[in-house]
Chains A and B, each alone.
Chain A
Amino acid sequence: MTFFLRAISLVRLFFFLGLVIVSLGILSGIFLIFYLAGDLPKLPSPLSRIIETPQSLIYASTGQVIMGLGERKAVPLEMVSKDFINAIVATEDHLFFEHHGMNKLRTLKGLYITLFDPDKVQGASTITQQLAKNLFFSFEQSWRRKFKEMLVALQIEAANTKEEILNAYINQIHFGAGAQGIENASQTFFGKPALELDLAEASLLAGLPKSPTNYNPFRHYDRALKRRDIVLERMAVAGFISHPEAQKISATRPQLHKGRMDSRSGSYFLDALIKELIQIYGEDVVFHGGIRVYSTLDTRLQSFARDALTQGLDQLDTLMGLDPGEKDRPQGALVAIDTGSGAIKAMVGGRDYYASEFNRAMDSRRQAGSGFKPFVYYTAFQKKGVHPGTRMTDKPVLIKIPGAKDWEPQNFEKRFNGNMILKNAFAQSVNTIAAQLVGMTGPEAVTAMARACGVKSPLEDVYSVALGTSAVSPLDMAGAFSVFANLGVKHDPFLFWRVEDAFGRVLFERIVQNKNVLESGVTFQVLDMMKEVVDTGSGRSIRSLGFGRPAAGKTGTTDNYNDAWFTGFTPSLCVSVWTGFDKKKRLKDTNGIGITGGRGAAPIWAEFMINAMKGEPERDFAIPDNIRFEAVDPVTGCAPKSTGPSIVVPLKTNQAPCGREEK
């Protein structure tokens, strides 16, 4: 009896003690509510106001929208696939239609874990709580933030119907790849409206909000499919679909929208564009002003550029004997500029934007090697009266530099070929002759000339500038070489044509201005030598790869094979390609031989240009009126012997071969 009595007393004691604790808990809760209520954010009314932010749109030069900034293209629930609604509810909050903002059992579990395992803050968020968090709170994990989030969720539930809440939720969640809201996500990943999503696509999308970056199907397709299987399983458990149906769908692989993928690969371009817009207009206008930006990007060329660079770098991996899984692989960059205007038509700043957002096309500065020689030759032609037919000698050279060690440049092949005309010296990229030329002009004149052509990277006035020891970006090179393509007319490279506000009022409009920075006759002489590089010189791999149009360019390889360049142009398009490691490391093939610009970068250039120029009318470079052509002996620069070799050089009206300058 006594034991029984004691047991009863204990039960009663625990009951009342529990009651007191619960009562205290309730009182504390009430206190907290009053305490925190004043600090809670105000809820917009109606809730649909949250999706009224105007989007800024970026258009390609071909007219299609390539990116929406701050974009929330809201659609009503009726315009969203039922499969997606079911999938998102099953995955994120299967009791959504039953609770009133919080799932009490999950919350109690979360509270228990939070109290007894403080290192681990347990999430128990319903869709409404997620909406509250996304709208008002940071991602800081704390009980205070969770409690506030819960209170706001309760208010959201009190003020809105379930449909309104779900509608707000699906229109503002992030799906990755810059897509916010289901309509954008559907368009981004599948190129169709959200209403037309089938179960396979809908379930894939419903899995993304958990971790948009990790499950990004463009980048981690298989990972996204595994996540989709979890979504399908939850849909089956929640009774939205049957298990066999889930298994059947699980075996399918939805086709991603390739067009969007192409424009997305322009992210290096878009990053650069957005950065420039922010500098001009500020972040608020760019992301929240609903502006329309008409960019210079040509999505077709961008796609070719991405493919050419990816393919070229893969080939480089093979050449170097690198495994596909190797972490330390060479990088690359490609910039294509419309020579007639300076518009940047394509830009790829690395082999994978998602692996590295560093834009090597604009922000990386690497030594250009022989790629700098056109500036050296132009300066010498203009200032010292030499020309492509002038004879010089490839020999050991020692240039005395006041206050510094004498400079003794070496040829790439470590041998000297004696007399030769400058056209051949250029095509064969003879370093000793370039050094003699810069010795004649002085390095200051060469760097001044490069700057006049638009090279913006800092250049050192040193003699070794002849061999491209100053670091430049691929954009610098493409912009500066465009001047040669235009026979001395410079256009500054740019990323957008026009900016309008949401009402079509013009904020900015680009006008294309010709700036004559080089003398056309001399420019043509250099251009002609650059044609020789492509036809027979260090860039001849371009011809062997099948690019037969009139083209000119220059390879560039640094001494230690750290950088391999090719910058070349047709009359309408100028393209610079760089390859190399981010860290200073040699590009060498499996035989240990260094990879030159002709082997590493020129194939990428050729692949891109073959595709880019398809359908374009073929045209040659214009020849200035003051230019005539004469055949000369490639060694002496004098009239060729009747049986000997000859080479045609362009001469200005006051120039003559063999040192017989006309006055």
Chain B
Amino acid sequence: MIQNWYDPFTAGELWRRIFSFLNLGVLFITLAFGASEFRFDWCERLVGTYLLTTNDTRPETGAVWESGRQTSNAHKSLNQIITRREDTRRSAQSAESFSHLAGSLRPGEWVPLDKDLFKVLYLSLSASAGRKVIDPSHLVWLLNGKTTDRIFCEGQADGVKLYFIDSQNRVIHQIDLKKNAIVEIESGNAPLKVQLKEIEAFAGRIFPAEKFFDAVLKLPTEMISELMVDPDLLLKQNGTIQQVGIWNEAENGYIKLGFEFEYRGENQVLLIQAREWAVWQLSLLLKAEPQ
């Protein structure tokens, strides 16, 4: 049997080697390490604590952060919608005319409109222009009756729609105002820089002012007030009336009368609405007299 040089020579030396300080130390440390870990979880604590120190430098990734980002995006989107709507609402509420109102709404945008504001806008028009928007007696019922709960405005590419809705959100009356129509309604009182003879619709029905007013004054008093719905428009106009024309077509019970004014050498025509039946009576008188 071969004896290796590093083999122990005696049993005592063998035991000494087995239970050497190094062996026991390593064994003890290993066992202490393992047992303490199982008992106190210090590895987990150590790693956890270390990771806590790096927390702020790490990326915000994962479902919970994604969810946070989505929430943030959602709030941004909602705020944009609300802000835009509030801006539109403010702009609409500060409107001084229907054209301003139409201009404040982009297609598809809608805002509620105060009934009082609608009244203000409506009353800013002359009676005849207002009638083109809605008949005043109908409006009285819509605004002063119990039917209308709110008014909604919806922007259109070519104007604005106004919805009178009841408490069930049902549309009880709708007004479609095209931009062109609004301009016409609002500027309807401005005189046209033309002569009556240049407007084809008056052809054959143009009368000298004296003759026209002679005939008018022959009408019964109550009929005169019905004839010209907005005489104040005529009073406001500068210049002298030269001729008066009667439009060739009635519209909703009204016929346009054209008054040609001469002011500082320039001729202008002011169009006003007159009751159809009163104009018809007037026409009989005008035709009866030689031109």
Residue in contact with B55 in the complex, picked from A19, A45, A70, CB distance below 8 Å: A45
Binding site for A on B (CB under 8 A): 1, 7-8, 11, 14, 18, 23, 26-27, 30, 37-38, 41, 44-45, 47-52, 54-65, 67-68, 70-71, 73-75, 77-78, 81-82, 85, 152, 163, 165, 168-171, 174
Q: A434 to nearest B CB, angstroms?
A: 36
* Least Cβ–Cβ distance between B92 and chain A, in angstroms: 15
Within A26-81, the residues touching B (CB, 8 Å) are 33, 37-45, 49-50, 53-54, 70
CB-contacts of A258-283 with B (<8 A): 281-283
Q: Kindly state the separation between the CA atoms of A265 and B233 in the bound complex, as whole angstroms.
A: 67
Taking A38-B57, A41-B62, A513-B163 as contacts, is the C-beta distance between A154 and B38 under 8 angstroms?
A: no
Bound: A649/B62 CA distance, A: 70
A448 at the interface (CB under 8 A from B): no
B71 touches A288 (CB 8 A): yes
CB atoms of B48 and A159 under 8 A apart: yes
Contact B30 A44, beta carbon cutoff 8 Å: no
A-side interface residues, number (CB < 8 Å): 61
Q: Given A5-B7, A19-B26, A41-B59 in contact, is the A511-B169 Cβ separation under 8 Å? A: yes
Q: How far is the CA of A68 from the CA of B52 in the complex (A)?
A: 34
Q: In the A-B complex, list the 10 residue pairs whose CB atoms are closest, starting with the nearest.
A: A158-B48, A136-B62, A289-B74, A100-B41, A154-B48, A155-B51, A41-B62, A100-B44, A284-B74, A288-B71
Q: Number of residue pairs across A and B with beta carbons under 8 Å?
A: 153
Task: List residues of A (133-189) whose CB comes within 8 Å of B's CBs.
Answer: 134-137, 151-152, 154-159
Decide if A285 is an interface residue (CB 8 Å cutoff): yes
On chain A, the residues within 8 Å of B26 by CB distance are 16, 19
Q: In whole angstroms, what is the CA distance A136 to B59 when docked?
A: 11
Nearest-CB residue, chain B, relative to A40? B58
Assess the A158–B45 pair: CB atoms within 8 A: yes
Complex CA gap A281/B61 in Å reads: 25
Chain A residues near B18 (CB-CB < 8 A): 8
Quick check: B63 and A136 within 8 Å, CB to CB?
Answer: yes
State in angstroms the CA–CA spacing of A8 and B61 once bound together.
53
Stretch at the interface among A501-509, A526-534, A613-621: A501-509
B1, B52, B60: which contacts A158 (Cβ < 8 A)? Answer: B52
B14 touches A5 (CB 8 A): yes
Supposing A41-B58, A285-B74 touch, asked if A33 and B63 sit within 8 A by C-beta, the answer is no
A592 CB, nearest partner CB in chain B, Å: 51
What's the minimum C-beta distance from A448 to chain B, rounded to whole angstroms? 24
CA distance A37 to B59 in the complex (A): 10
Q: Report yes or no: B52 in contact with A155, Cβ–Cβ below 8 A.
A: yes
Q: A37-B54, A41-B58, A501-B82 are in contact. Are A53 and B47 (CB under 8 A)?
A: no
CB <8 Å contact, B61 and A136: yes
A102 within 8 A of B: yes
Does A358 lie at the interface of the complex (its beta carbon under 8 Å from any beta carbon of B)?
Answer: no
Q: Is the Cβ of A54 less than 8 Å from the Cβ of B71?
A: yes
Closest to A156 in B: B48
Q: Is A86 an interface residue (CB 8 A)?
A: no
Chain B's closest residue to A26 (CB) is: B43
A154–B51 touching, CB < 8 Å: yes
Q: B-facing mask of A1-39, CB < 8 A → 1, else 0?
A: 110010010001001100100000000000001000111
- A100–B47 alpha-carbon span in the complex (Å): 11
A157 B55 Cβ-Cβ under 8 A: no
